[in-house]
Amino acid sequence: MIRPASRISPSLLALGLWCLCTLNASATVFLIDLNENAGSPLPSGQTWNTYAAPANITGATILNSTGQSSSVTFSVTGTITDNTANFGTAVFDPNQSGVVNLPSWVVSAGANGAAGDNFFTNNSTTTAASYTLTFGGLTAGDIVSIDLLASRNSGSALGFFDYSLDGGSTWTGFRVLNADGTIATTNGWDTNTTKSQEFGLQSQGFVLHRYLNAADLTLTGSSLMIRTTDANTSTNTFSAINAIQVTVTPEPTTGALLMMAMACLGCRRRRTGKV
């Protein structure tokens, strides 16, 4: 009697699920510290790519958060200025009363070195200045997530923030998260992004410890671009970025998924041939 193969064996199913989990678990994290004046230590246990001056952003390859080399490059274009006068707790104070659950990806107790300073646009004219940071050497189809901290204790620190997945053809705004990672629903963030509404680096970043986020994005090109722009052309506003975390997960390869499908099909055929 021929026994029909109506089910995949539990062991093969488990193997297939393990393969898929393995393919999706190979995320790589990159940490960027813009400016290094804060004097406080960086959060321990991770490797940060730190830049003491804008000129040090040369387009060279960067390290991932475990200290390993990569093929990812980091470059900048636009009006970018070194913050040499105001740093430390004037930019981000992890000890402010009333603020709990600090953005754990960038700040730990007593260690705000990555958050405590920034590079800014230095807008002293009636032209809205901007700069763009580019992560190159990526692969179309990769899944990326972005965390971005923008904090400065100044009422003139107002900016728009957006990102591009296709080399600069299309730009999209970030959502705003509270310090604990939940989505902000006050101050207009339930309906607006940081492209449609200015982000106050003082009221939002410094006082509330809020940060910017975009998650599970599919790259359509080989680069990820992040841009900040002054919010106002009529007054001396400026914008800045303190720190960035980018997580890159390679797209599961078609070949690997095809191999798994063929293995399942082969198993069904073997079971069908059994008597």
Residue 99's Cβ-count burial label (10 Å; 0-12, 13-18, 19+) is middle
Residue 232's Cβ-count burial label (10 Å; 0-12, 13-18, 19+) is middle
Higher pLDDT, 263 or 242: 242
Q: Look up residue 243 and give its DSSP letter.
A: E
What are the backbone angles phi and psi of residue 252, rounded to the nearest 5°? -55, 130
201 neighbors 233 (Cβ within 8 angstroms): no
Higher pLDDT, 66 or 262: 66
Please write the tens of the pLDDT for every residue from 147-197: 999 999 999 999 999 999 999 999 999 999 999 999 999 999 999 999 999
DSSP 17-75: HHHHHHHHS--EEEEEEE---S-SPPPTTS--EEESSGGG--S-EEE-TTS-EEEEEEE
Banded pLDDT at 255 (limits 50, 70, 90): very low
Kindly tell me if the per-residue pLDDT of 208 is higher than 60.
Answer: yes
Arithmetic mean of pLDDT over the chain: 85
The one-letter code for the residue type at 140 is A
Q: How far apart are CA 161 and CA 192, in angstroms?
A: 12
Q: Which tokens sit at 9? A: 């064996």
221 neighbors 171 (Cβ within 8 angstroms): no
